Structure 1
Amino acid sequence: MPLPLPSLPSLRSFESSARLESFSKAANELNLSQAAISQQIRHLEDRVGGALFLREARRVTLTELGKLYLGLTADALRTMESAFETARALARPNALVLKTTPTFAAFWLLSRLPRFQQLWPSASLTVTAVEPSGQMDSLGDLTITTGQEQWGSFLIQKLFDINLVAVASPAVAQRTDLGRFLAGQTDAIIHTIRRLDDWGLWCAGAGVPPFTLDRGTILINSVLSYAAAEKGMGIVIAEEAMIAEQLARNELVKVHSARVSTGRGYYLLEPQDRTRRPIVDAFVQWIQQELAETKL
């Protein structure tokens, strides 16, 4: 039978002491006495069965066992803290928890949210960014994500289709040789790991030879890729709706006229078994109004 887990206060004392390399600084951070921190660390070491810290005159450092234990517990602590803050957010009056992709949050939602806050100044809005493949059935009132209507347990509203365009900064677009680009010979391109099929989809639709991963720069997600394109690092395949404001401000420009449909879209998902609260109803209506006023 597994032994009872160490107490949460002892784990917090351990994490803080390890990060700050000081029992006294950890005590200040956690609003405890240094003696209490030392006692919790000793208790944790007794439970683990070995020393977690090397005690020096003015600092403490992790032992090899301490480094291993910190690596195993730090993510769990962050997960518990995140779950606690999410639960607190749900309990607030006029609380709304929205899960969406990092790209939608950064490039579509954030610039528009002040308008919703003007309509609902008392709203307590929590936005959590998850990748499209992330878990969709955990805490949250609404989810906005991409796909092809594959969510059976939600009420689904399609917001808009995803069309791909090839864009770059004005400087990069100006110096790009269109002939070399159309022949698939341009090196100044940006790949997005979480959207590796974008170049293939766009090239097929535009009649351009595909660009392979041995050419250009590779970045983890669209947020970084679009930012890199703005800074002049190369050409990126972008979701047109996400970079509409950058196109309007001439921060990004199209390097080719092709606009290629992906067959995917952005969808609003809502749990089927949950009574819609007034704040949720207001947010859904606001999203619909914003879309009606936006040219996509």
Structure 2
Amino acid sequence: MRDPLPPLPGVQAFEAAARLGSFAAAAAELHLSPAAVSQRVRSVETHLGVPLFERLARSVALTELGRAYLPAVRESLDDLAAATGGLFAPARREQLTVRTQVSYATTWLAPHLHLFRAEHPEIDLRLVSAVWAEALVPGEVDLDIHQGRGAWPGVHAELLHHDDAVVVHGPRHVERFGPVNDVADLADRPRIRVLGFDDVWQRLLPPAPGGPTITVDTTVTALELVAAGDASAVVPERFVRAAVREGRVALALARSFPMRQAHYLLRSHDDPTPSPRARTFLAWLARLDEHVPVLPGDGATT
């Protein structure tokens, strides 16, 4: 059987007075009078049969037993507060789950998510990335963002971003192969092709065999290969803005090329209306699109 515990109001008053160094300060924190705090502490001391404080003229000091008792009291009150808040406090945060491809999450969202967190600290964002996951599972996510041509079976697709492509090369490309004055200069140079994206390479260069080609399945991989070597790649302009401005890769040509693909918001026909937190995120995405300038018009050079 548990030994009888001292009264909880008195324990709270003891901890506050010990932490703040006076009954008056504890009274202000607990919204009590100093006399009430003193009375509550006295009830604990009576229960324990020992003094916990030395009463001084304008302050209090812990006795040896008071100092020994204080750590256990603090830990117990902290545990009680955490358990109470976790189980009974009203939910103050919301979680938003966004599913999109790895490249969109890594190259477009990641560099700017600190802005969303600053604007909306009450929303916890959960990103679910999948390369080829095109099926929308009802109830699994709040927002489903995919790149394609706008035709997915069983879902409603709403245009989110138009996309153009740019050609980028590695930091040693010009030193090894010479400047790029025209796309034809790239015909016999090594290049990276991103599987599944709109194949702009085929429209930019003749179909005849050219330089060596590496095929990858994400823009993230393509950018890492470009940054680590001297190859070139055609990638969505949105995905490469941060890498170009950081100097990890460079624009080969100061122009962009239209893509047949774009980014769409996918929604189930049975659940056509985004939640309020989802609409908050979409509005932030729209503002981000307006405020982050595109590369070819941002002073980039070849």
Which residue is 1:149 aligned to? 150
1:217–1:155: structure 2 CA closer, same or farther, 3 Å change rule? closer
1:147–1:92: structure 2 CA closer, same or farther, 3 Å change rule? farther
Deviation at 1:295, TM superposition (A): 2.5
Which residue is 1:81 aligned to? none
Which residue is 1:120 aligned to? 120
Unaligned 5+ runs, structure 1: 1-90
Identity of matched residues, %:
18
Which residue is 1:267 aligned to? 264
Q: Say if 1:132 and 1:147, in contact at 8 Å, map to a contact too.
A: no
Tell me, in whole angstroms, the C-alpha distance in 2 between the residues paired with 1:238 and 1:248: 15
- Once the two structures are superposed, residues 254-276 of structure 1 have per-residue CA deviations (whole angstroms, 9 ceiling, x without a partner) of 22345221122111223343354
Equivalent of 1:249 in 246, 249, 256: 246
Deviation at 1:196, TM superposition (A): 7.5
| TM, length-normalised to structure 2 | 0.58
Alignment of 1:174-193 (within 5 A): 174-177=175-178, 178=180, 182=184, 185-193=187-195
Deviation at 1:143, TM superposition (A): 1.0
Q: Say if 1:144 and 1:267, in contact at 8 Å, map to a contact too.
A: yes
| Code of the aligned partner of 2:95 | A
Equivalent of 2:199 in 185, 197, 200: 197
Deviation at 1:145, TM superposition (A): 0.9
Alignment of 1:1-296 (within 5 A): 94-132=94-132, 134-138=134-138, 139-151=140-152, 153-177=154-178, 178=180, 182=184, 185-195=187-197, 197-201=199-203, 203=204, 208-210=205-207, 212=209, 215-274=212-271, 276-296=274-294
Tell me, in whole angstroms, the C-alpha distance in 2 between the residues paired with 1:287 and 1:251: 25
Tell me, in whole angstroms, the C-alpha distance in 2 between the residues paired with 1:273 and 1:132: 23
1:163–1:199: structure 2 CA closer, same or farther, 3 Å change rule? same
Tell me, in whole angstroms, the C-alpha distance in 1 between the residues paired with 2:197 and 2:281: 29
1:143–1:212: structure 2 CA closer, same or farther, 3 Å change rule? farther
1:145–1:211: structure 2 CA closer, same or farther, 3 Å change rule? farther
* Secondary structure at 1:136 match in 2: coil
Tell me, in whole angstroms, the C-alpha distance in 1 between the residues paired with 2:111 and 2:169: 21
| Code of the aligned partner of 2:173 | V
- Once the two structures are superposed, residues 140-184 of structure 1 have per-residue CA deviations (whole angstroms, 9 ceiling, x without a partner) of 111111112214654543222221221112321343244897266
CA RMSD of aligned residues (A): 3.0
* Secondary structure at 2:161 match in 1: strand
- Once the two structures are superposed, residues 9-49 of structure 1 have per-residue CA deviations (whole angstroms, 9 ceiling, x without a partner) of xxxxxxxxxxxxxxxxxxxxxxxxxxxxxxxxxxxxxxxxx
Q: Say if 1:193 and 1:221, in contact at 8 Å, map to a contact too.
A: yes
Unaligned 5+ runs, structure 2: 1-90, 295-302
Q: Say if 2:92 and 2:122, in contact at 8 Å, map to a contact too.
A: no
Tell me, in whole angstroms, the C-alpha distance in 2 between the residues paired with 1:92 and 1:273: 28
Which residue is 2:86 aligned to? none
1:152–1:184: structure 2 CA closer, same or farther, 3 Å change rule? same
Deviation at 1:96, TM superposition (A): 1.3
1:174–1:122: structure 2 CA closer, same or farther, 3 Å change rule? same
| Code of the aligned partner of 1:199 | W
Tell me, in whole angstroms, the C-alpha distance in 1 between the residues paired with 2:126 and 2:207: 40
Q: Say if 1:103 and 1:222, in contact at 8 Å, map to a contact too.
A: yes
| Code of the aligned partner of 1:220 | D
Deviates more, 1:160-169 or 1:247-256: 247-256
Tell me, in whole angstroms, the C-alpha distance in 2 between the residues paired with 1:268 and 1:151: 11
* Secondary structure at 1:135 match in 2: coil
Which residue is 2:12 aligned to? none
Deviates more, 1:109-118 or 1:125-134: 125-134
Q: Say if 2:111 and 2:242, in contact at 8 Å, map to a contact too.
A: no
Task: Choose 1 or 2 for highest CA Rg.
Answer: 2
Tell me, in whole angstroms, the C-alpha distance in 2 between the residues paired with 1:135 and 1:212: 36
